[in-house]
Structure formats: structure tokens, C-alpha cells
Amino acid sequence: MITKLAVRGALLALLGAAAIAPAPPVEAQVRLLAPASTRITLADQSNVTANGNTGAFNVAPYTEATVYINVSSWECSGSCSGGQVQIKIESSDDGGTTFYQHPGGNLLPVSQSGKVEPPGTFVGALGDTWRVRWTVTSSPTASFTVKAIFKTF
């Protein structure tokens, strides 16, 4: 018959024989969990009065992006009432020949100077190629930047 004392002794012997590595310091654990990030200016446009887009850029290594829009100048006079610039993120499935609006890529319309809140956040399937496209309505003149923080988990 196996006694409780014998089981306890066997468990203690096993635990004592096992090589248990000490846990790394908390700071090291946090560094290991933090994703790598890259900051990229996607568009830097001055005095925009017509529709347009940037060239294509590769986003293949990234799994998350937070996109920020900052309008540095806005001028809208006369028949421009209600004017806006709609900024969109587009992605390509063929490396940059054909573009489609990225899911959730229709960012908030711009209609004045300042930061556009909230920023757009994209997680998961970013595709491999992006560009920024803008559509101008009612003839405003705007200068804006579109920046993103890309992360890889």
C-alpha cells in the first residue's frame, strides 16, 4: 500500500531534481511582449484643391496600423461652403496596380484645420500594399499630413 508520506516524498524528489530556470526580471518580460513599431508619413500634401493619391508603399510585414491626420491649413471661401476632403486608405491585391478601399479605410472627412479625431486603427489583414487617396468636394484648399504607426506582433 502506498502511503501519503511516500507520495509526498516522491513529489518532493521530482521537484528537487527538475531544473527550474528563474523567471526573467519584469522589465525583460515587458520588452519581450512589446510589439516592434515603425512610424511612417504616408502623405504630406500642400495646397490640395483636387482629388489625388500617393504612390504605393509596402505594409506586408505589419499586423496593425494606427493612422493620424493633421490638417495644417484650411481655406474655404465663396461657393466652398460645406467643402471637405475625404481621406481614404486603399489596399492592393496585386502589388500596386489595382487598388480597393481598405475595409474601414474611409477615414473621417476633413473640413477644418487641426487634428482629426479619432485616429483610424487597422488590425489584422493589412494586405501588402497601401496608398492614401483623397477626394475634394466644394473646392477647399487644404494642406495635410497622414502619418501611421505600424506594429508587428
Asked if 107 and 148 touch (Cβ cutoff 8 Å), the reply is no
The domain defined by 35-152 folds into Jelly Rolls (2.60.120)
Give the residues across from 22 on adjacent strands.
none
Poorest-confidence range of 5-9, 71-75, 83-87?
5-9
Q: Name the more confident of 74 and 33.
A: 74
Q: What residue ranges do the domains of the chain occupy?
A: 35-152
Write out pLDDT tens, residues 90-113.
999 888 999 998 888 888 788 888
pLDDT at 29 exceeding the cut of 50: no
* Whether pTM exceeds 0.95: no
Q: Is 89 exposed, middle or buried (0-12, 13-18, 19+ CB in 10 A)?
A: buried
Q: How far is CA 59 from CA 40, 41, 66, 88, 96, in A?
A: 10, 13, 12, 16, 11
User: For residue range 41-55, what is the model confidence (pLDDT) as tens digits?
Assistant: 999 999 999 999 999
Higher pLDDT, 22 or 80: 80
